[in-house]
């Protein structure tokens, strides 16, 4: 290393592949560049740094010491709310399929896979739980192009000759059909390929990506009260004032940094500085009340989308991503907004100016914390003002404008966004679907859409909190979404509430809640007090392979080993701890404590 290969293609195209050792961690870093040395423009749709199939000269193998158990893949979904977790290779891939969820939680431009095929965004792991090394493949950047993977599993009866039940593995970057003129080049995002122990591979990939994308890593995670899970879109100005007064009176025992107003204050999505009748004094007045009470005012925005009935959409239809007929493309219908919504064209100069002015305005009103939601609207497929800008680059340009306009001191939380293009621009990231006051999704009390992986439900939020924990402190601070602590208007059991709170605090990201402090029982207020601030260092799942919701997570705090066990099943589950798998020497004598109850459990060998 380093190595370099070059291939001459038809039409004067030259393909260049370079491989080098990464600056830290295991693996091989691959970069593909395509040069147009011909005389005509060429449209580029995909760039493949890795293509393994039955016809290629490449083969996939792992060391013979790996005992073949149940092979599986750890995959990433399209954006914040999408599924992230393990799937067995003898099963089927998981995707949003309902007509209202697919355009929001997935990318409709990428067709659903057939049985035996698995799709992943940005990175994947291939291996067996607790059985030797894994194969990690992951793009370390998202400056301009979306990185994707498709894996094809071998039929169950045949098996691959190498012992790895995979017949094809493809990794590519979406170039979105941009034109490559004579003399121009295009470069794929760097791809890391590593065979190593799971934690070593994940940590190396996360560090390398954070370094390449210049991740922002705040020294501490703020504690946030937000309005959403108490008031939803019906929030009123008086609700915000009551919450501020209640929290101000409990600052000694329940310190909160941010009071954040969520969706429901604006005239329409897109008309952000026009408040509805429930906020008669306006945003600036409210921010001042919160700030004078000693808190940082926070505000929810969805700056890359707008409702059909908004003034923004009605007056500037040419600002939105269009179809081939020149008409703005709707993203989806929102039940919360009772309207369709559309994605802004972030390559349009007038949109860029409007966006910068908007962010400067809300920051000048006193909001030092911005929750930026529905950001995937900036990356939707369609026709843009500048057709030479790929979707990922358009999205990142919008985020760059927001960061510059907001300033370095404003805390930015990303939400509903494809992951890699946001690294280095947001301080924190929602890494899972919305939580809910129920374990599984329910619509008007009905148990429907239970197989949809990104619908609001505590189980879905809890899963992603654990399966994307490796991102925390490497790419940003993770946001596992709010804790729902109330005992009214909820179907959550006491154990489910405790589990959610423990997972949130032990994984060390943002801690937020929405319930009014005056309406939380003293017992649960005490739980909240004990969860603040979040633990450091943060726990990591022992493995991401083997089950949907990781059972065990561990982390060292000085001489103490912290162990978090999460039983996400419907049945009791024995807790068996094997010293070697926890990094302890055999015959080690340990003192055991239950940190939740404070009970000393004695010694174990």
Question: First CA to last CA across the chain, in angstroms?
Answer: 46
What residues contact residue 375 under an 8 Å CB cut-off, 6+ apart? 79, 302, 303, 304, 395, 398, 399, 414, 415, 416, 417, 422
Burial of 161 from C-beta contacts in 10 A (0-12 / 13-18 / 19+): exposed
Q: How far is CA 491 from CA 264, 420, 442, 494, in A?
A: 24, 35, 10, 10
Q: Are 503 and 563 in contact (CB under 8 A)?
A: no
- 434 an active-site residue? yes
Cα torsion for 226, 268, 400, 429, to the nearest 10°?
Answer: 30
Strands (E), 303-352: 305-307, 330-334, 339-343
Q: From 305, 122, 293, 96, select the one nearest 208 (Cα to Cα).
A: 122
The span from the CA of 390 to the CA of 146, in Å, is 9
Catalytic entry in 93, 262, 434, 515: 434
Per the omega criterion (within 30 degrees of 0), is the bond before 14 cis? no
What residues contact residue 143 under an 8 Å CB cut-off, 6+ apart? 189, 213, 392, 393, 396, 421
Report how far Cα 181 is from the mean position of its chain's Cα atoms. Answer: 35
Burial code of 45-69, b = ≥16 C-beta within 10 A, e = fewer? eebebbebeeeeeeebebeeebeee
Sheet containing 166-180: order of strands: 42-52, 166-180, 146-153, 117-121
3-state secondary structure (DSSP) of residue 363: helix
Catalytic entry in 107, 373, 427, 481: 373
The span from the CA of 348 to the CA of 110, in Å, is 25
The span from the CA of 213 to the CA of 418, in Å, is 14
The residues annotated with a catalytic role in the active site are 373, 434
């Amino acid at each position: 290393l380093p190595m370099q290969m070059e291939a001459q293609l038809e039409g004067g195209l030259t393909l260049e592949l370079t491989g080098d050792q990464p600056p830290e961690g295991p693996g091989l870093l691959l970069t593909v560049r395509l040069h147009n040395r011909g005389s005509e423009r060429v449209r580029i749709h995909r760039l493949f740094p890795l293509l393994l199939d039955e016809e290629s000269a490449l083969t996939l193998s792992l060391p013979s010491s790996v005992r073949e158990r149940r092979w599986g893949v750890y995959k990433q979904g399209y954006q914040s709310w999408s599924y992230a977790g393990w799937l067995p290779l003898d099963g089927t891939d998981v995707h949003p399929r309902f007509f209202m969820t697919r355009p929001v939680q997935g990318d409709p431009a990428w067709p659903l896979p057939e049985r035996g095929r698995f799709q992943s965004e940005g990175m994947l792991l291939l291996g067996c739980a607790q059985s030797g090394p894994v194969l990690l493949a992951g793009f370390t950047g998202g400056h301009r192009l979306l990185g994707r993977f498709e894996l094809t599993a071998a039929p169950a009866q045949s098996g691959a000759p190498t012992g790895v039940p995979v017949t094809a593995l493809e990794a590519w970057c979406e170039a979105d059909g941009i034109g490559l003129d004579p003399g121009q080049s295009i470069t794929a995002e760097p791809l890391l390929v590593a065979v190593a122990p799971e934690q070593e591979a994940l940590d190396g990939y996360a560090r390398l990506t954070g370094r390449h994308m210049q991740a922002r890593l705040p020294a501490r995670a703020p504690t946030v009260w937000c309005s959403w899970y108490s008031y939803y879109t019906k929030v009123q100005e008086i609700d915000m004032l009551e919450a501020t007064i209640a929290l101000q009176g409990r600052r000694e025992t329940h310190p909160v940094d941010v009071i954040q107003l969520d969706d429901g204050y604006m005239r329409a999505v897109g008309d952000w500085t026009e408040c509805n009748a429930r906020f008669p004094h306006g945003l600036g007045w409210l921010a001042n009340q919160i700030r004078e009470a000693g808190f940082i005012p926070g505000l929810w925005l969805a700056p890359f989308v707008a409702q059909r009935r908004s003034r923004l959409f009605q007056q500037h239809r040419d600002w939105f991503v269009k179809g081939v007929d020149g008409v703005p493309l709707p993203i989806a219908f929102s039940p919360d907004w009772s309207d369709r919504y559309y994605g802004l064209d972030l390559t349009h100069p007038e949109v860029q100016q409007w966006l910068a002015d908007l962010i400067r305005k809300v920051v000048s009103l006193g909001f030092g914390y911005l929750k930026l939601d529905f950001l995937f609207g900036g990356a939707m497929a369609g026709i843009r003002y500048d057709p030479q800008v790929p979707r990922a680059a358009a999205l990142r340009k919008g985020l760059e404008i927001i960061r510059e306009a907001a300033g370095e001191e404003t805390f930015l939380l990303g939400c509903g966004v494809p992951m890699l293009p946001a690294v280095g621009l947001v301080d924190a990231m929602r890494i899972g679907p919305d939580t809910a006051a129920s374990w599984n999704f329910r619509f008007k009390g009905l148990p429907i859409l239970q197989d949809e992986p990104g619908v609001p439900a505590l189980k879905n939020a809890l899963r992603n909190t654990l399966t994307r924990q490796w991102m925390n402190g490497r790419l940003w601070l993770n946001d596992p979404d709010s804790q729902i602590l109330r005992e009214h208007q909820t179907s959550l059991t006491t154990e489910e509430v405790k589990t959610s709170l423990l997972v949130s605090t032990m994984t060390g990201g943002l801690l937020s809640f929405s319930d009014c402090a005056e309406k939380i029982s003293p017992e649960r207020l005490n739980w909240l007090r004990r969860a603040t601030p979040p633990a450091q260092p943060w726990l990591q799942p022992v493995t991401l392979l083997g089950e949907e919701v990781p059972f065990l997570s561990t982390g060292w705090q000085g001489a103490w080993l912290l162990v978090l066990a999460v039983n996400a099943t419907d049945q009791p589950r024995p807790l068996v701890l094997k010293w070697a798998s926890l990094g302890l020497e055999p015959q080690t004598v340990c003192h055991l404590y239950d940190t939740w109850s404070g009970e000393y459990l004695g010694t174990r060998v």
